[in-house]
Amino acid sequence: MQLEAYRPLRPQAASRKEEFERSEARRAVEDGILKLTAEWQERMARARQAQDAATAAQRAEPTVEDEEQPAGKQADPDPAAIEALTAERDRLQAELNTLREENGRLRSSNEELRAESGRRDDETRKLNDLIVRSRRTEEQWRQAYVESRKGRRPDDTPVSIDSVGDAVALAREAFPDRLLIKLDSRSNENTPFTNPAEVYDALAWLATAHCDGNDNRIGEACSGWTYKTSQREESIAKYREWYETLADGKTWFLGAHIGKGTSRDPRHTIRIGFVRDDEGNRVIVGFISLHQRNRQS
C-alpha cells in the first residue's frame, strides 16, 4: 500500500544529493497518499451514513399496518454488516491518523532540510570567497617575488633585460631548482621579441604559480599571454624535432606552450614550449622562438 511505500522514503537521506533524488520519489507517493485520504474520507462518510441508517432501522418499531403489509416491512439490520462497517471505519481512522503523523514528520524534515541547504549554500559562498582571496593573495605574492627579482641577479647585482637571451639567462639564475631550460635545435634564443622583460615574467610564472599549483591562468599574471595544454598529433608526428628536447639524458615531450601574439612577425609573437616534471617538482623549457612548426605553417 501507499504508506508502506512511503515509510522508507520519509527519513532524511544521508547526503544532499541523495535527499533531492529521494524527494522526487517521496512527492510521487505523497500525491497517491493524499488521493487515498480523500477516498478514505468519502468511504468513512458512507460508512457513517450506513451505520446511522442501520441504527435508525434497528430502533424503529413496526406498526400494526406494517405487520399487516409484509411487503412494506423494513428488514432487521444485519449485525455482521454493522460490525464490518464499524471495523472499516476504525481502520480508516487509524490510517488517517498515521498519515497525519507522517505528514507532520515530513514537514519537520523538510524544514530541517531547507535550513541545512541554506547553511550549505552559505558555506559554499564563503569557500568561494576564500578561494578567490587565496588566488589573489597567491598572485600578489608571485608578482611581488617576480618584481623583486626583475632586473637583478641572485646576488642582487643590477642587470637589464634587453633581449630574450637576457631574460633566459636571468631566469636560469633566479630559479635554478624550479626551472630547467634545455632548448631544442629549433629554438632561437635570439628571437627579436620587442618585450623581452615579458619573457622573463612568463618564465618566472612557470617557475612559481604553474610549478607550485599547476596554475594555467597566465593571463592574470602576464597580460596578453595565453596557455595551451596540447598540440595536434598530426603536427607532432610530422615535426617531432619541434616538440621534443633532451634533458638529463632523457627525451621530454613538450606537450604544452605559453605565448603571446598570433602573427608571423617574431617582434610581436613568441612561444615557449615546456613540460612539467612532477617528480623533480620543476618545469622543463625546451622551446623558445616563433611558432612551433605545424601542418599550417
> Which pLDDT value is given to residue 194?
94
Average pLDDT per block of 10 residues along the chain, 297 residues long: 62 67 72 70 71 64 49 61 81 81 77 79 78 63 56 59 93 92 94 94 90 80 88 79 92 92 94 93 95 75
pTM, full prediction = 0.50
Whether the CB-CB separation of 169 and 159 falls below 8 Å is answered with: no
Give the pairing type, strands 282-289 and 225-228. unpaired
> Which pLDDT value is given to residue 65?
47
Give the pairing type, strands 282-289 and 270-277. antiparallel
> Which pLDDT value is given to residue 64?
46
Give the pairing type, strands 244-247 and 225-228. unpaired
Place of cell 642582487: 156
| Cα distance between residue 6 and residue 72, in whole Å | 51
